[in-house]
Amino acid sequence: MSDKDDWSRPIGAQTALSSRYVVIRNLGSGASGRVVEVEDREEGCRRAVKIFHSRHVAGREFRALSKLSNAGADCGQYVRLHDKFIFRDYVCLVTDLLGESLFDFLEQNSFKPFPGSHVQNIAQQLFQNIAYIHSLNLTHADLKLENILLVNPAFRVQFFQHRVLSTDGVPYHVRGRRRELCDTQIRLVDFGMATFGDEYHHPEVTTPAFRAPEVVLHLGWSFPCDIWSIGCILFELCTGKPAFNPRSSIEHLVAMEHVLGRPIDSHLIEKAKQSSNLPDNLSRYIRGYMPIPPTAMSRVTKTEMLGHLIPNETMFDQLFLDLLQQIFVFDPNRRITAHEALRHPWVTGEGAYTCAKEQERTADSERNHILGVPTKQLSQGINTKPMSIQRKPPLIPHLHNRLPEGDINRILEIISLVLVSNYRRTSICYKNRKSFILRHRDRLRSHFNKQRDLPTLPQHLRRQIDNTLHTAHSAKRKIQTLQTLEGSAIMTTLLRSLVSNKVNLMPNHSIVIQEYIQSTPTLVDSVVESS
C-alpha cells in the first residue's frame, strides 16, 4: 500500500497489521479509508480497524472519538475507540466490531419500510446520542444511514401490511414479507467530518441527500444540520425511500420547496445572495438569472409532498408528521433541537407508542389467523426497550369503521373505472379520476359507517383487485377482469347498497352502476343464494 494502486487493492487475509492485529477479512471501503475485521491477539477477540489514507481525516476522527471516550463511556451509542497505530505510513484506528449499516439492512430488505416501533426506538437513540455530542460542542456533520451500524443484525421474516399510493395518488394497502430486526440497538460511526465549535467549518459537509438547506446555500452550519439529517434518516426508514435525492444543488432546493410545500425563507435567500462562496449556477439561480433546469423540474414534480408521503391515518402517523415538520424547518435557528425532540410526544411514546404497538398486534393477529399459529408464539423476541407510559385505547380510525379505509378506496376506484368506460355519458376521464376519488371518499365512508352487516373483502380478493386496478390496461379491460374474479360478488353487493340507498355521487352515476351490476348476473345470483 505504498501508492494509489496499492490502496485500491483489498488487504489479504492473514496480513499482519502489527504484532497484535491480524486481518481476517475486508469489510468495506469509502472516501476516507478502508475497514477490515481483525483478530486482537492480546485480548482474544475481534475488532474493526479503519485504515485512513488521509492523516487530516484520521486526526479529526481520532480527536472526536477521544473526546467522547474521555467524557464518559456510557453517555452515548457511538463506536468506541480502543487503539491507534501506524501501518505502512497510514493511520489506523481500532474500534468495536459491529454489524451491518441501516442502509445495508434496508437494501437487503428490498427497501421495505421498518416497523413503526423500530423507527421510534432508533429515533430515541439518535436524538439521545446527538444531544450528548452537541453538549460537547461537537457536530457530527455526516449523519446518514451508512454511518449508523447495528449492534446485532439478527432478524426474522414477518408478514407486514404497508400503505402505498397508487398511480392516481389514492392510498391502498399491500401485504408482503419483510425482515424485522430482533434488536434495534445502533451505534454511530464515521466521525471524519466531526467538527468542534472552535474549528474551521468546511462549507460542504454531509452527503447531498441528507444535507441541510443552510449547507446547500453556504450560509454556515452548526448543530441544526445534524437534526435535518436525522429527519431524512427517519423518513427513509419509515417509507423506504429518500426524502430528497438531488443531482444538483438547484434541484435540491427545488425539491425541498416541493416536498415541504412552502418556499425557502426570504431572509435566507437574501443572505445567500451576499455570499461569495456559491457555485456559479446556484448563484445565478437564487438571483433570478437562471431558470430551473427542465430535467430537474421533471424529476421534482414526480415526487409527492410530505403530507402525502407520510400516512395520516393514526395518532402515531400524525405525531410523526408533526415531528418531521418541526425538523424540516428552513431556518436553522427555528429548527427543533435534539433535547427538544427527546420531549416530543412521538419520541417519548405518549399516545404514539401505544398506537404503533396496537397496529403491530392487529397485523400479527391477522397474519396468525392466516397461518394458523398462536399470536404469542410469533410475537415473542422483539428486543426493543419498553417505555413506561400510560396505556390508552387504540386510536386507529379504521378499527372503528364499518368498512376498512382500504376497501372504501377500492370501491371508489372501481366506480371511477365504470364511469371512465362510459365517458360519453359521465364526462369522467383518467385525468380527473384522482379529484373524483378524493372528493367523494368522505361521503362513501359516511354511508358505509351507517350500514350494518356489511360483507368484508377477503385478503386474497383485495390483492387481486389491487393488482387489477394498477395494471396498464384500459378501463373496460380492467372491468372485465374484475367481473371474473372469484369472490367479486362481495364487491358487487357493496355497490348495490349505494344504488339502493340512492347515494348519487354525480349525474347518471346510479344508472351506470346499475348497468354494471346487471352485466354480472351470475355474481349477483351468487350473492342472493349465499344470503
**pLDDT single digits (tens) 499-519:** 666 666 555 566 666 666 666
Task: Please report whether residue 355 resides in a domain.
Answer: yes
For residue 25, give the DSSP letter. E
Whole-angstrom Cα Rg for the chain: 27
Task: Please report whether residue 274 resides in a domain.
Answer: yes
Answer yes or no: is pLDDT of 495 > 60: yes
Task: Please report whether residue 455 resides in a domain.
Answer: yes
Task: Please report whether residue 505 resides in a domain.
Answer: yes
Q: Domain check: are 318 and 292 in the same one?
A: yes
Cα(420)–Cα(165) distance, integer angstroms: 20
Centroid of chain to Cα 405: 22
Q: Which three cell numbers stand for residue 200?
A: 474551521
pLDDT digits (tens, 9 = 90+) for 403-416: 676 777 777 778 77
* pTM of the predicted protein model: 0.66
Conformational region of residue 235, where left means phi above 0, alpha means psi within -120 to 50, and beta covers everything else: alpha
Q: Domain check: are 173 and 28 in the same one?
A: no
* Letter string b/e over residues 331-366, b meaning 16 or more CB atoms within 10 A of that residue's CB: ebeebbbbeebeebbbbbbbbbbbbbbbbbeebbee
Q: Domain check: are 19 and 48 in the same one?
A: yes
Domain CATH code at residue 56: 3.30.200.20
Q: Domain check: are 117 and 191 in the same one?
A: yes
Of 36, 68, 96, the residue at which a domain comes to its end is 96
Q: Domain check: are 486 and 449 in the same one?
A: yes
List binding-site positions for ATP.
50
Q: What is the pLDDT of residue 523?
A: 40
Q: What is the pLDDT of residue 12?
A: 79
Of 58, 78, 96, the residue at which a domain comes to its end is 96
List binding-site positions.
50
Q: Domain check: are 147 and 88 in the same one?
A: no
Q: Domain check: are 87 and 193 in the same one?
A: no
Lowest mean pLDDT among 64-68, 419-423, 433-437: 433-437
Residue 453 catalytic?
Answer: no
Q: Domain check: are 427 and 299 in the same one?
A: no
Q: Domain check: are 205 and 315 in the same one?
A: yes
As a whole number, mean pLDDT of residues 201-228 equals 91
Domain CATH code at residue 110: 1.10.510.10
Domain with 146 in it:
100-359
Smallest CA-to-CA distance from 233 within 341, 375, 126, 373 is with: 126
Q: What is the pLDDT of residue 506?
A: 56
Q: What is the pLDDT of residue 126?
A: 95
What is the number of alpha carbons within 13 Å of residue 400 lying toward its C-beta? 8
Task: Please report whether residue 526 resides in a domain.
Answer: no
Q: What is the pLDDT of residue 53?
A: 85
Domain count, the chain: 3
Q: Domain check: are 420 and 508 in the same one?
A: yes
Number of neighbours of residue 501 by Cβ within 10 angstroms:
11
Q: Domain check: are 292 and 311 in the same one?
A: yes
Of 96, 117, 145, the residue at which a domain comes to its end is 96
Give percent of the chain with pLDDT exceeding 90.
Answer: 31
pLDDT digits (tens, 9 = 90+) for 298-317: 888 777 788 777 767 788 88
Task: Please report whether residue 477 resides in a domain.
Answer: yes
Q: Which of 3, 74, 142, 317 is catalytic?
A: 142
As a whole number, mean pLDDT of residues 441-463 equals 72
Answer yes or no: is pLDDT of 133 > 80: yes
Centroid of chain to Cα 202: 29
Task: Please report whether residue 530 resides in a domain.
Answer: no
Q: Domain check: are 266 and 142 in the same one?
A: yes
Are 51 and 61 a contacting pair, CB within 8 Å? Answer: no
Give percent of the chain with pLDDT exceeding 70.
Answer: 72
Task: Please report whether residue 459 resides in a domain.
Answer: yes
